[in-house]
Structure 1
Amino acid sequence: MRQCFFTGVLLVAALSLSACASKRLEGDRPDENMSAEKQDAQKRASIRMQLAVGYYQQGQLKVALEEIRQVLVIAPDLVDAFSLRALIFMDMGEKQLSEDNFQHALKLAPGNSDIGNNYGWFLCLNGREKQGLVYLDSAIKNPAYTAPGKALNNAGLCSLRMKDPIGAERYFMQGLREDPGNPAINANLADVLYKRGEYKQARFYIGRVLKFDVLAADVLWLAMKIEKKLGDEAALNSLGTQLRRRHPNSKEFSLYQRGVFDE
């Protein structure tokens, strides 16, 4: 489950690829005291790691796994390789393999909040919500973590899985203080408020998401349900037109056609 709120913002959590997504291997700048052989190995591992990330992002999971295998032959203790492999196994539904790789990555880098965020969400998805929140809260409280909004969104979703909408709201509100324009957090908060019957507030937060040009079907559908409750037929029809144009084969458009707003 990769970080892409436009493919189901109400369900998708914010996962992190740690340093491997945007940087080469830590310390991969040539060292004057490093042999030419070691420099070459480091360069090859870096290239393989970047390829693995690319394949993962494209959904080519088996190819990404093979690249990671090659990386670990060259650099057996590379934390990002274990972290990425955990995410791949998570996507493949290989729970035990995913857990093993998360645990090994955390052993290599116990203070890494990107890994803690991902592992916390993994635990939440697998019926271990309380344990997951421990890891997510740790990432949130880490002053060195540069993207606390990810962990806050995940903690809110984890709270919802625990039937705790009040706790979820607290996490989402804190997330918006960190990142006010975050579309996933705005949409998730709007959903919480909608289910509580606070439709005007829900409209405010979903309105922030509607400013984006690309919208998932569930986002439009939530906005439509809010407008239905508020009795704004013009806004409802306008959103319905967008839903028909963008997602004519979605379950949300089918519900709209049948007039079923309280499914």
Structure 2
Amino acid sequence: MAAMLRAIFLVVTVLLVGCVSNGGNRPVNKNNAVQSYLELSRGYLQQGYAERAINPVNRALELDPDSAEVYGTLGLIYQVQGENLLADQSFKKALSLKSDAADIRNNYGAFLFGEGRLNEAYRQFAVAADNVKYSSRSRAYENMGLVSLNLGRLSQAREHFQKALKLNGNLARARLELATILEEQGKSREAWGHYQIFTRLAGQNEQSLKLGIKLAKANGDNSAAASYTLQLERLYPSSTR
């Protein structure tokens, strides 16, 4: 579940603003400077240097104190640092500045999910998913499906995963979770189809191998069932005891 909660860094289009001076004779475009600081900050964050990510984002904030993108990035940094109150405040500030920022809503939803605030997370993902201009709507629907699973709403989760896959058929997590739901609902043949696509998209884990064994047996593929059983015994020997 933790993998689902990784922040997704998306490029946000920002309108060009006036120029500022760099202390010399050459003017510096303010927007370009902000974006450069944000890229540096996100680079540090992705490399695991959350502490170093603070300085460049603060410089960006000095240049543009009304930037939703800057506050959204600050929220991600505080989230990684475990400063949850500050993260919450930063995400809220970002959305107060730009309520239609679907990427920020998706990231805020992921933060809320990690905090166990499932209903709040679902609402943020739903708003992001409703934005037809959002280039990662599939991820928002996938996240809605994961929240629904945690709330015990299997039918709703199935609908969200199916929608996510209509938008992006290469979502491995949605494929696996949908296959799991369909298997539980007795739709083994349909589940098998999704599972086979999943195996081409991602590596196996204990959960997926156990599901693969069930589905292979249910669909009469004894060779696949034996192969998955061997992989399970080799990679997760304690699970077969």
TM-score (normalizing by structure 1): 0.76
134-143 or 74-83: bigger deviation: 74-83
1:39 aligned counterpart, secondary structure: strand
Asked if residue 12 in structure 1 is aligned to residue 7 in structure 2, the reply is no
1:161 equivalent to 2:153? Answer: no
Instruction: Report 1:12-91 matches (<5 A).
Output: 12-13=4-5, 15-19=7-11, 26-27=14-15, 34-37=19-22, 39=28, 42-91=31-80
From 182, 188, 193, the equivalent of 1:199 is 188
Match of 2:172 among 183, 186, 194: 183
> Is 1:122 the counterpart of 2:111 in the alignment?
yes
Q: CA deviation at 1:224?
A: 3.3
Change (3 A) 1:14 1:153: farther
Q: CA deviation at 1:158?
A: 0.7
Deviations 1:154-185 (A, max 9, x none): 10111111111111011111112222232221
Report the secondary structure of 1:18's partner residue: coil
Partner of 1:151: 140
Give 1:101-116 correspondences, 5 Å limit: 101-116=90-105
> How many percent identity over aligned positions?
25
Task: Provide the rounded CA distance (Å) in 2 between the counterparts of 1:48 and 1:151.
Answer: 27
Q: Flag structure 1 segments of 5+ consecutive residues without an equivalent.
A: 1-7, 259-263
Count of paired positions: 236
Stretches of structure 2 that go unaligned for 5 or more consecutive residues are: none
Q: CA deviation at 1:85?
A: 2.2
Where do 1:222-261 residues align within 5 Å?
Answer: 222-230=211-219, 232-241=221-230, 248=235, 253-258=236-241
8 Å CA contact retained: 2:5, 2:111:
no
Closer, same or farther: CA 43–138 of 1 in aligned 2, 3 Å:
closer
Partner of 1:3: none
* Residues 14 and 31 in structure 2, CA contact (< 8 A), matched pair in contact too: no
Q: Secondary structure at the match of 2:135?
A: coil
- Aligned twin of 1:261: none
Distance 1:35 1:96 in 2: 33
Which stretch has the larger CA shift, 103-112 or 178-187? 178-187
- 1:62 and 1:83 mapped to 2: Cα distance? 16
Comparing both chains, which one has the higher relative contact order based on Cα–Cα distances under 8 Å and sequence gaps of 6 or more? Answer: 1
1:215 to 188, 203, 218: 203
Alignment check: 8 A CA contact 1:13 1:157 kept: no
Letter in 2 for 1:254: P
| 1:103-130: CA deviation from partner (whole Å, max 9, x where unpaired) | 0110111111111112223223333322
Q: Equivalents in 2 of 1:123, 1:55: separation in Å?
A: 23
Q: Is the contact made by 1:15 and 1:150 (CA closer than 8 Å) also made in structure 2?
A: no
CA contact (8 A) 1:17 1:83 kept: no
Q: Secondary structure of the residue that 2:36 maps to in structure 1?
A: helix
Distance 1:14 1:186 in 2: 18
Distance 1:85 1:95 in 2: 11
After TM superposition, the structure 1 stretch with the greater mean CA deviation from structure 2, 94-103 or 217-226, is 217-226
Q: Deviations 1:135-166 (Å, cap 9, x if unpaired)?
A: 22221111221221011001011111111111
**Aligned equivalents of 2:215, 2:8: Cα separation in 1:** 31
